[in-house]
Structure 1
Amino acid sequence: MYRKGYNSRRIRGKLIVCDYLSASVELEQHIPQTVSFSLAQLEEMIGRYSTLYVKPDIGSHGIGIFKLKCLTEGFELYEIVKKKQMTNQYETLTAVYDRINTASSAKLIIQRGVELDRVNGRPYDIRAMVQRKKGGIWTVTGFLVKVGAADKIVTNYHQGGTIYTMNQLGKLQGLSASQTQLRIQTLTLTALKISRLLSEKQSGMHEMGIDFAYDVEQQLWVLEVNSNRPQFGPLKRLDRRAYDRMKRFAASYGRRSH
């Protein structure tokens, strides 16, 4: 596992981040219900939601993620192994639980599935990069839109996804420039609220990659907050201005790679 050699502390674990954010009156509406992984929790969550995600509590690049769908009879389980996606059906939830336990040795969480908005027929989410220089205020230094590969359950660039800018996304979805700008403003304000709250819980933080998603009804959700070396390298060719800004901020707290 990568170990950071620069000055920016992190909050370790997706579940504790969700707990912090869910406790905020301002932010709780954006946080999908997230619980620790067990058979009892799996039974309770699938009783509430027809689709669930099971993820490593600590992990990235879309590795080790499962998607569970409730069928008329039985269950369908999608899983990512390295860069390969597999699908199997199971008659019982116990069989699903056993399969996940066999396939993963990591500490896992269960998260309510969100039916993501789409562009060109593919689901996407939006990474907001939030940074601050030493002694400075939190600043949203840029966005990248991660569009999933065909039929993949994750949107990650490392799993074959495509990267867009916010303006490209807006144009492809037929939004006006003012509608795209309103989205950017909403994402910016929400990202700053998240960064301020989490940095009160953990001192010494200088960067966060916040993954947002709109669902099919345009409700805004926070899927994940990555404070362990969030990536922005894919922007280098796509949006050099934003990339260079992120690099300048990163260099101020000692980060030399992206």
Structure 2
Amino acid sequence: MRSKPLRRLIPETVRYDRARLIKMLNRYAMVYVKPETGTHGKGVMRVAQDGRNYRYQLGKQPRVFRSYGDLANDLAKRVKGRRYLIQRGIHLLKHNGRAFDLRVMAQLNPSKKWETTGIIGRVAAPRKIVTNYHDGGTLVQARRLLSGHMGKSATSSTIRRLEGVGVLAGQAMRNRYSGITEIGVDIGLDRSLTPWIIEVNTSPDPYIFRKLPDPSVFRKIRRYQQAYGRK
């Protein structure tokens, strides 16, 4: 948020409570409620206002409520006093009818400069609301996913922009947390092709990049990790 070029790419995100949830729903109609800390998309819920009804989905099965009070009471059981966030919902682009986002891997290279070393697409499993590979998502080349929504030139331009976002995010995070040497930036594109930073992971899984047809991407990621001491 302190980085001027990045701040406009971050969906509005606030701490979860009952009053903030209804305000965010009134503003955006669809939001995500997720644990403040966690991995693999566990506990992430999509909450939406649909006409006079409210609904949320955790996993594959949505639940529908006639009133906001009923929705909030049920969510309170899920949250159980833990710290959650509410984030503006982004209607992600889709591939074969399933939402996808992009994992941008950025690392501190041996020259002590931030570098984007890999980008890979993650397609949600059927009927799932999260794209995480460890929750059934499918890993797909980013260029293939983007080319389904834009031309060749625009695809290349978008990938260069995402690489730049990775570098800026790495610099911003290290300015605040000096020990950070790698990040995984999850970026979703909406229907207007606007990129949004959904979250930044400080312990990203490098092994998903083994799924790319070009093995040099994973080799570079591991080489950089070894240089700064990650086992």
Aligned partner of residue 207 in structure 2, secondary structure: coil
**TM superposition shift of 1:205:** 0.9
Where does structure 1 lack aligned partners over 5 or more consecutive residues?
1-20
Post-superposition CA distance 1:184-228 (Å, at most 9, x none): 11101122111111211111110100001110111110000001x
How does 1:72-221 map onto structure 2 within 5 Å? 72-80=51-59, 85-105=60-80, 106-133=82-109, 136-173=112-149, 175-176=151-152, 178-221=153-196
State the identity as a percent: 30
Q: Offset at 1:123? A: 1.0
Q: What is the aligned counterpart of 1:61 among 33, 40, 56? A: 40
> Do the aligned partners of 1:56 and 1:109 also contact (CA within 8 Å) in 2?
yes
Query: Which deviations, in whole Å up to 9, do the C-alpha atoms of 1:38-92 show, x marking residues without a partner?
Result: 0110111111011010000001211101111111112011013xxxx32111122
* Rounded Cα–Cα distance in structure 1 between residues aligned with 2:159 and 2:112: 22
In 2, Cα distance between equivalents of 1:101 and 1:254:
41
Q: Does residue 1:230 correspond to 2:204, yes or no?
A: yes
SS in 2 for 1:193: helix
Structure scoring higher RCO (CA < 8 A, sep ≥ 6) equals: 1
Name the structure 2 match of 1:17. none
Matches of 2:141 and 2:115 in 1, distance apart? 18
Measured in 2, the distance between the counterparts of 1:253 and 1:139 equals 14
Q: 1:223 to 1:57 in 2, by over 3 A?
A: same
The count of aligned residue pairs is 229
TM-score by structure 2 length?
A: 0.93
Are residue 248 (structure 1) and residue 231 (structure 2) matched?
no
The two structures have a TM-score, normalised by structure 1, of 0.84
The answer on whether the counterparts of 1:32 and 1:222 sit within 8 Å (CA) in structure 2 is: yes
Structure 1 residue 172, shift from structure 2 partner? 4.3
Contact 1:74–1:91, Cα closer than 8 Å, also in 2: yes
- SS state of the match for residue 179, structure 1? helix
How far residue 168 of structure 1 moved from its aligned partner, in angstroms, is 2.4
What is the distance in 2 between the residues matched to 1:202 and 1:134?
19
Of 33, 41, 66, the residue aligned with 2:12 is 33
Matched AA of 1:231:
D
Runs of 4+ in 1 over 4 A off after TM superposition: 171-174
